[in-house]
Structure 1
C-alpha cells in the first residue's frame, strides 16, 4: 500500500464519473476515501467494488464538505490529495505521483496540479482557462478548506508550495452534456455567490489569503477577486467577458468552447449581479 499519500474524493450521484477517476489512480495503490452526500445512483456500489472507504454527510456547500472530509477521515499518510469526482489523473501526472517521495519535499507544504478543463467534449484552451493551477496535494493536517468561501472551494496551506506544470488533472463534467443540467447547477451557484458578496459587504466574510498579484496562484486569484468586487455591478460581466475573449484569446477557441466562455463568463456573471441587486433591495 502507498505510504506517501492518500486520496479523498467528494461524490453525489457520480456513477458516470467515478469509475473513470478510480481507474486513473488505482495502480498508485493509495488509500482512497469518499465523502458522499446522499447518492441514489450506482456511486456507492462502484466505491464498494474498488474497496473505497465511504462516509456520508449532508451537503451545504463545497468548502464545508471538504472541511468535514479532512477532519473526519483517518488519513495516516504524510500527504493528502483532494479530488472531485469529475476529474481524472493523466498518465503524465500519474508518473509524477508514482515517483513521489515525501522526503524529497522537505519544507514544502503544498503542490499545485495543472488542470485541463473540458466542456461538452471540447478543451477550454484559451480565455484564461489554461493553464490553471489548483492546490490539490498537501501535507496531512496542514492543508485545510477555505471556509470564507461560499461556493468556490480551495485548499490552503501555510508556508511554501510548488507547481507541477507537467502532467494534468483533467476535469470534464459529463452531466453538462445536457445543457439543462448546466443551467440548473449554475442557478444554484449564482445564489451562493450572490449571498457571499452580500455577506462580504457586511463584513461577515473576509479573504483568508492575502491578495498578491505576484504570489502563488491562489493569492493572485484573491487579488483579482478583490478587484472584481470593486467593479460596478452590471458592467463588470461585460468587462470580464471582453477581457476573456480578446486579451485572453478566448475567440481562438472552437465553437463549443466559445459557447462555454459566453455562458460561464457573461451569462452566469450577469445572473449573479442581478441576484445581488435583488438581495440589496430586500435588505433595504
Structure 2
C-alpha cells in the first residue's frame, strides 16, 4: 500500500541518477511529480518508463523552482517529500514515515526531519560533523516553503516536526570533475548572496543556538560569516577535520573534507574579495 505522499523531484540531465531515485520511491509514494528544466540527455526517455507526471519549468534558482512546484503541481495528497535526482529514500525512512502516518497521532505534527547520509566516491562520510545533519524534507502540503536563498536552501515548516531515525541517501558526486564543477557554480551563488545579502528581507530559517537542528546549524553558519575572509575556511577545516574527527573517514574522507570544508569555502571568499574589488573600482 502506497503512502498518502506526493514526491517532487527536480531534474536537469539526470540520466545517470534518475533510475535509482525513482526505484526508491515508485512503490512508496501515491504520486510522483518531476519538474524538469529542459533536459537534453536521456532523462525524459527514462521517465517515460515510470508512472510519473512530468512538468517542464524554466530554471531560475533552486528556491523558485521548488516553490513553483509546491504552488503549481496538481498534488492531491496531503504530504509532500522533496528530492533531488541524486537522492534515494532508504527502507528505514519509508517504514518509519508509514508508521507515523498510520498512527493517527499526527494532529499537531506538520513535518518530519530526516538526516542525509552523504556518499562520496562510494564511501559514507560519517565524521567531521557531516552526519547526522537534519533537513525538513517532508511536510504537510501548504505548511512548508523553501526559503529564498541562492544557495544552501532549507524548507521552513509551520508547526511541530518529528525527527526520524531513517536516512535519505545523498550521492554527492558522480566524479571529482562533477563535484568541482558544481561547487564552482555554487560558490558563485554563495559569494553573491553573502556579498549582497540578497536574502535579508525574505523569510529564512532563524539561527538559534537552542533551536532545532536546522536553526542551530544556521546559528553557527551566521557566526562563520562574521569571521574574516580567508581565515574562516582554515578554521572551519581544522574544526571539521581534526576536532570533529573527519580524519576517521580515511583517504576519501580527506579528499571530501578538504574540498568541501576548505577549497569550496576558500573559493567563496576569493569570489567575495573579487566582488569587493570590482565594486571599489
Q: TM-score, normalised by structure 2?
A: 0.94
Q: Verify the 8 A CA contact 2:247 2:253 in the aligned structure 1.
A: no
Residue from 242, 254, 266 that aligns with 1:270: 266
SS at match of 1:110: strand
What corresponds to 2:17 in structure 1? 17
Residue from 187, 195, 207 that aligns with 1:198: 195
SS at match of 1:25: coil
TM-align CA RMSD: 1.7
What corresponds to 1:36 in structure 2? 36
What corresponds to 1:232 in structure 2? 228
Alpha-carbon offset, residue 2 of structure 1: 4.0
1:105 aligns with 2:74: no
Alpha-carbon offset, residue 206 of structure 1: 5.6
State how 1:25-64 maps to structure 2 within 5 Å.
Answer: 25-64=25-64
State how 1:146-185 maps to structure 2 within 5 Å.
Answer: 146-147=147-148, 149-164=149-164, 166-175=165-174, 177=175, 179-185=176-182
SS at match of 1:180: helix
Is the alpha carbon distance of 1:140 and 1:206 closer, same or farther for their aligned partners in structure 2, counting shifts above 3 Å?
closer
Q: Verify the 8 A CA contact 2:121 2:173 in the aligned structure 1.
A: yes
Is the alpha carbon distance of 1:235 and 1:173 closer, same or farther for their aligned partners in structure 2, counting shifts above 3 Å?
closer
Is the alpha carbon distance of 1:32 and 1:171 closer, same or farther for their aligned partners in structure 2, counting shifts above 3 Å?
same
What corresponds to 2:136 in structure 1? 135
Q: Which sections of structure 2, spanning at least 5 residues, go unmatched?
A: none
Q: Which sections of structure 1, spanning at least 5 residues, go unmatched?
A: none
What corresponds to 1:96 in structure 2? 96
State how 1:182-261 maps to structure 2 within 5 Å.
Answer: 182-200=179-197, 204-205=200-201, 208-261=204-257
Alpha-carbon offset, residue 60 of structure 1: 2.0
Kindly provide the CA deviation profile for residues 96-117 of structure 1, in whole angstroms up to 9, marking residues without a partner as x. 2333427321111111112110
Is the alpha carbon distance of 1:106 and 1:234 closer, same or farther for their aligned partners in structure 2, counting shifts above 3 Å?
same
What corresponds to 2:69 in structure 1? 69
Tell me which stretches of 4 or more aligned residues in structure 1 moved more than 6 Å.
none
